[in-house]
Every structure is written in C-alpha cells, then in structure tokens.
Copies of this chain bind each other. A is one copy, B any other.
Amino acid sequence: MTTDPRNHEAESGYFSEDDSAEVVIARIASDSDPRLREIMDSAIRHLHAFVKEVEPTQEEWGKAITFLTETGQICNDWRQEYILLSDILGVSMLVDAINNRKPSGATETTVLGPFHVADAPRYESGANICLDGKGEPLVVTGRVTDTQGQPIAGAMLDVWQANEDGFYDVQQKGVQPEMNLRGIFTTDADGRYWFKSVRPKYYPIPDDGPVGKLLGQMGRHPYRPAHIHFIVGAAGFEPITTHIFTPDCPYLHSDAVFGVKQDLIADFHAVDDPARASELGFSNPFQAVTCDFVLVTPQQKLEG
C-alpha cells in the first residue's frame, strides 16, 4: 500500500493508459460470480491489448461502434447476424472444437448453423426428403456404431440441407414446400439407415448485412461448400452435430464459416446402375454417398 493514492492509479480507481486493463479489472467485485469474473478478466485484458496494438483513431472507434450496433439491429426472428459474425471469424468452430474433444475414431463435429428446426418430420428408412423435385437425385446410406464398431440400433439422425437454389426451406417460406429437405430417420437393428435426397450445392451465407460487408472488405467470398447437416444421437451416447461435404466443391478449401474438416468429406459419386435406379425411382445414372457415424459415450467424451 502506498500512502498517497495519487501515485497509484489502480488504487485510486483513476484511469491511466499504462494500467488501463488493470484499473477496469480491479473494479470487479470480489464477491461477484467467479465464472463471470474469469470471463470478464480475460475479455477486458484482450480488449485493451487489442486497442493498444491497433491504436484506433476516434473515427475508427466510431466505425466499430456503428458496426456492432448495426450487427445487432439487423437481427430478427429468422436472422442472427451475431452468430454469422462468430461463424465468419472462426469463433463458432473454435467453441465447437473446445466442447467436442473426443477420442480418436469418433466422428468429427462441426457448426450447427442457423437453419436447424426442432420439429422435422419423422420418416421410415428410404423416404425422400426432397419435396420440391429439384436437383440431382441422391441416395444416402450408412451405419451408426460405437467406437468398437458395434452397431447402435434406434439411433436418430436429424438431417437437413439447402435446396438446388441454395436456400433452406425456412429462408423461402411460401416458395419451398414446408419441411423441404428435412427429416428424422432411425437406425435398424444393424445400425443402418438410408434415405433419398438430392446432391447438395454450395450457397452464400446472407451477405447483405454488416457481416457480409466486412467479408467483402476482407476480400472473402460468402460461400459455404455443398454439405448435408446431421445431428446423430442415441440413448447412452453423446449426440453429435456435424455435416458431410461433397469432395469436389470449388469452395471446399475456403468455407466462409470454416466448417470443413478432412474427415467430413464424403464419397459422393455417380452410380450407373439402371436396375438400382429403377428400384429407387431415380433416372440413371444417379448420385450416392455412404456415411458412417461413430458415437462416443459421455465417459469416453470426458476422457477425450
């Protein structure tokens, strides 16, 4: 303790450029929530270090205030621009990675995205989720197993994707059939599932707002490579949120939201088999992909 508080900014509570973060952190009450203190301590230190590194002009500070304000103001019931900002800065993927460290062999996770809906229709195996008749017919087959390769019967696969025009049904209410390209499937006794759909196409994230403008200023395109979303869950296992990607998409190495992982690139391929096509009700040739999912138990996840 010094006797003259004026010699010690942090003690006086007065601001100083040198001790700026420490002065602010010192104000957090010692009896406030420990987790909040931990988060705010780190946030304040990094925020001040960032400002000291870039030394913004008052005008640049004003632009940042405007950007943050507009990013909040464009949000509504069906648009979440702050999630989009988190996505394009790689923060959503980082939070996903931190929360899904798993033993080797388990299926990798990736971002949920903003287009999942909770009440997709439940279908029998083999149903076609494509209700608008657009796109290249695709058959998706695979198994859900544990890390020992044992089948998981009764696992649920919640599946959704954008249509041939690059939009999810919820983005085009009244244009696409409701629940187009969504469905929930269940594995059989051997852990197998299958359904019909269409080969996914790449599409841009909404880029007419502040986040799209920032992407443009960074010289980045707004496209996500073609993918199908899955949430796969089963009793006694940790659910996983993931995608599978087509292997030849031009945006595979530059996903606007950094969602691609090598292990999630699947073997989408053309099949020339008139008999099988006829069986499926497809014209020949058609597209097919097989993707297996490996789930872990909560205990395995903890150890992962």
**A contact set with B: CB distance below 8 Å:** 5-6, 12-17, 20-21, 23-24, 27-33, 36-40, 42-44, 46-58, 60-61, 65, 68-73, 75, 80-83, 86, 89-99, 217-220, 252-255, 258-262
Top 3 nearest A-B pairs by Cβ distance?
A72-B72, A29-B219, A13-B253
Tell me how many chains of this kind the complex includes: 2
- Assuming A72-B71, A82-B68, is B90 touching A48 (CB within 8 A)? yes
The answer to whether A15 touches B253, judged by C-beta atoms less than 8 angstroms apart, is no
Q: Within 8 Å CB of A262, what residues of B? A: 6, 12, 14
**Neighbouring B residues of A68 by C-beta, 8 Å:** 68, 71-72, 82
A260 and B89 alpha carbons, distance in the complex (Å) = 36
When C-beta atoms are compared, the residue in chain B nearest to A220 turns out to be B27
Identify 30 residue pairs between A and B in the complex whose beta-carbon atoms are under 8 Å apart, listed by A's number: A12-B253, A13-B252, A13-B253, A13-B255, A14-B253, A14-B260, A14-B262, A15-B90, A15-B93, A17-B97, A20-B93, A20-B97, A23-B258, A27-B218, A27-B220, A29-B220, A36-B218, A38-B54, A39-B56, A42-B53, A42-B54, A44-B90, A48-B90, A51-B95, A58-B96, A58-B99, A61-B86, A68-B68, A68-B72, A68-B82
Give A93 to B29 CA distance when docked, in angstroms.
Answer: 21
Q: How far is the CA of A86 from the CA of B92 in the complex (A)?
A: 24
Q: What is the distance, in angstroms, from A39's C-beta to the closest C-beta of chain B?
A: 5
A218 contacts across to B, CB distance below 8 A: 27-29, 32, 36-37, 40
Q: Are the CB atoms of A48 and B91 closer together than 8 Å?
A: yes
| Interface residue from B15, B38, B81, B253 paired with A97 (Cβ < 8 Å) | B15
Beyond A17-B98, A90-B21, whether A46 also contacts B44 by CB under 8 A is no
User: Which of B36, B47, B94, B254 touches A17 (beta carbons < 8 Å)?
Assistant: B94
Contacts of A83 in B (CB 8 A): 65
Question: In the complex, A47 Cα to B47 Cα: how many Å?
Answer: 8
* Residue pair B254, A27 in contact (C-beta under 8 Å): yes
Return chain B residues, CB-CB under 8 Å to A57.
99
Closest CB in chain B relative to A65 CB, distance in Å: 5
Least Cβ–Cβ distance between A1 and chain B, in angstroms: 15
Which of A50, A57, A75, A97 has the most chain B CB atoms inside 10 A of its CB? A50
Report A168 CB to chain B, min CB distance, Å.
20
Contacts of A61 in B (CB 8 A): 86, 91-92, 95
A90 touches B20 (CB 8 A): yes
From A5, A13, A98, name the one whose CB has the most chain B CB atoms within 10 angstroms.
Answer: A98
Q: Smallest distance from the beta carbon of A215 to chain B beta carbons, Å?
A: 9
Task: Report the bound CA distance from A167 to B241 in whole Å.
Answer: 51
Q: Is the CB of B39 within 8 A of A91?
A: no
Q: How far is the CB of A228 from chain B (nearest CB, A)?
A: 18
Cα distance A158–B125 in the bound complex, in angstroms = 75
Q: Tell me if B82 and A15 are in contact (CB < 8 A).
A: no
